[in-house]
Amino acid sequence: MARDSIEISETAGVRYLHFSSAWVQGAMRVQRPHALELAYTREMMAGLLLREAPWPRQALLIGLGAGSQAKFIYQQLPATRITVVEINPQVEVVARLHFKLPDDPLRLRVQIADGAAYMLGGDSLYDYILVDGFDKNARAGILDTEPFYQACRSRLSDSGLLAVNLLGRERGFQASAERIETAFDGRALIFPSCDSGNTVAFAAAGEPIDLSFDELITRANACRRETGLNLLPTIARLQIARRLADDRLRL
């Protein structure tokens, strides 16, 4: 079906969101609406390995899509308050009608606004900022600029982390990674690309992160028990790609 420029398809029990193109903007397994269906959405939650619970208290999502990450945080992290900034009001309508986005404004607030303007114009601090905003041609526009990343940095708490979805197989990916590293004075970690081509970048500006491989495994096992999210493959890929110097993750 189509609603203006938004299209929904369903295959083998998975419902997909598209913006008038073949690019998948979100997905939900109908029988598991709160699970993270796409690999990169799971990887963007790897911040749960880098900070100790209870974390995050305040999460900000730039880009709603099918609401996958908002729903996961809402379901699995009940102490977290979630703000979502989405530029297209129709995306919120579709997420509520077809992707089971919860209606609980006390914990999950959706604000229809431009993500860059929101970041540049406010002063609220967040523990976790997740940026996943693209147009129908998979372009991030101003959401992939150094001033925007600097604005993200200014909105992070002392324990804050930024996670950004980058399209790793697209031209310009390395430039995107360099913009993040510059904005955060080198405190950025680019994860190896997922099979889909999506690459996730993490950055921090406050409390340092220094975790051993064994600590990451312990935290991943605890996360899997508590939330059902399996981040062990992410740790393995980090190690294979030599992102863990001396078997430690430092950020």
**Catalytic residue IDs:** 132
Decide: helix, strand or coil at residue 38: coil
**Under 8 Å CB-to-CB from 49, ≥6 apart: which residues?**
211, 216, 219, 220, 223, 231, 235
Q: Determine contact, residues 200/180, Cβ cutoff 8 Å.
A: no
Q: Determine contact, residues 52/43, Cβ cutoff 8 Å.
A: no
Around Cβ 37, how many Cβ atoms within 10 Å? 19
Strands (E), the chain: 2-3, 6-11, 14-18, 24-29, 58-62, 81-86, 108-112, 126-131, 156-167, 188-190, 198-204, 210-212, 248-250
Q: Determine contact, residues 234/241, Cβ cutoff 8 Å.
A: no
- CA 56 – CA 54 distance, rounded (Å): 6
Beta bridge partners of 236: none
Q: Is 129 exposed, middle or buried (0-12, 13-18, 19+ CB in 10 A)?
A: buried
- CA 4 – CA 17 distance, rounded (Å): 13
- The token duo for 144 is 């992939």
